[in-house]
């Protein structure tokens, strides 16, 4: 079995190749290491190999790991799972980014509960590109209104959009889904010209990061290609 450092190098190479094919610089794509279900010791290994951003889906598990890795202040923590509104206080206090905001109530709570000594919480709106089938994410038509709400909240900084397209998509459908998200971000940028940090397209995972980068991803969320399969 190869080490985390080896897998990290492979993933970085994939990002570099995909960026080159898309005539983009590899620095324009951030790597988020998705570490759900993986123990803190493995995250520590990844951090030693150069990973600085971790994505977590389950709050309690994440809080335990954040505490266990407290001695590594360079780490950035991203919450990427579904959000119940009774969990917003801990999310807002312990994370740097939230990628899965899909309703105004959650946004308002995250803003109100952001501790004053911290900079505004970076937010991506999660968009449901596939209609009924998947439960998380807001409909594309409703993104503009939620964006207006978030931009007005002092504890938050709207950074962009996130999506998890249907895993059964063909490569062609996957291109179209990611392209749609990129178009939605372009519309938001026009709508909010005074938000220079509205720059993030959080899309692409272990299986489709090349397609996502071809369509403009600025942040890929990679789990199994770095940490191995999650079992179950
Ligand atoms: C688990 C997860 C990922 C990573 O998926 P892999 O296929 O293991 O790379 C990315 N994004 C979200 C929202 C996830 O829940």
Q: pLDDT tens-digit profile of 134-153?
A: 679 999 999 999 999 999 99
DSSP code, position 138: B
Average pLDDT value over all residues in the chain: 96
Residue of 202, 142, 141, 209 lying closest to 174 (CA atoms): 209
For residue 5, the CA-to-ligand 1 centroid distance in Å is 19
Put simply, whether the predicted model's pTM sits higher than 0.85 gets the answer: yes
Residues 6+ apart with CB under 8 A from 1: 228
38 lines ligand 1 (CB under 6 A): no
**H/E segment holding residue 62:** helix 59-68
Query: Ligand 1 test: best mutation among 223, 224, 225, 226, most atoms within 8 Å of CB?
Result: 223
78 lines ligand 1 (CB under 6 A): no
Q: Given this model, what pLDDT does residue 135 score?
A: 76
136 lines ligand 1 (CB under 6 A): no
Q: Given this model, what pLDDT does residue 78 score?
A: 98
Q: Given this model, what pLDDT does residue 224 score?
A: 97
223 lines ligand 1 (CB under 6 A): yes
Q: Given this model, what pLDDT does residue 35 score?
A: 98
Q: Given this model, what pLDDT does residue 149 score?
A: 98
- Cross-strand bridge partners of residue 77: 54
- CA 225 to ligand 1: nearest atom: 9
Q: pLDDT tens-digit profile of 70-119?
A: 999 999 999 999 999 999 999 999 999 999 999 999 999 999 999 999 99
221 lines ligand 1 (CB under 6 A): yes
């Amino acid at each position: 079995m190869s080490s985390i450092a080896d897998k990290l190098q492979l993933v970085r190479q994939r990002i570099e190749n995909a960026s080159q094919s898309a005539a983009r610089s590899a620095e324009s794509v951030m790597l988020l290491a998705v570490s759900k279900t993986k123990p803190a010791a493995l995250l520590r290994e990844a951090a030693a190999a150069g990973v600085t951003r971790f994505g977590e889906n389950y709050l309690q598990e994440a809080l335990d790991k954040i505490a266990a890795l407290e001695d590594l202040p360079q780490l950035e923590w991203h919450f990427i799972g579904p959000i119940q509104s009774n969990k917003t206080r801990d999310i807002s206090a312990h994370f740097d980014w939230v990628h899965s905001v899909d309703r105004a109530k959650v946004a308002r709570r995250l803003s109100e509960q952001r501790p004053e000594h911290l900079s505004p919480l970076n937010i991506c709106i999660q968009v449901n590109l596939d209609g009924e089938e998947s439960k998380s994410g807001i409909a594309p038509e409703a993104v503009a209104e939620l964006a207006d709400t978030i931009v007005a909240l002092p504890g938050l900084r709207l950074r962009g959009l996130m999506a998890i397209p249907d895993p059964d998509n063909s490569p062609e459908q996957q291109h179209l889904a990611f392209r749609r998200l990129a178009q939605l971000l372009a519309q938001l940028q026009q709508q909010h010209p005074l938000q220079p940090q509205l720059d993030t397209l959080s899309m692409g995972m272990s299986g489709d990061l090349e397609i996502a980068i071809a369509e403009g991803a600025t942040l890929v969320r990679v789990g199994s290609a770095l940490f191995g399969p999650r079992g179950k």
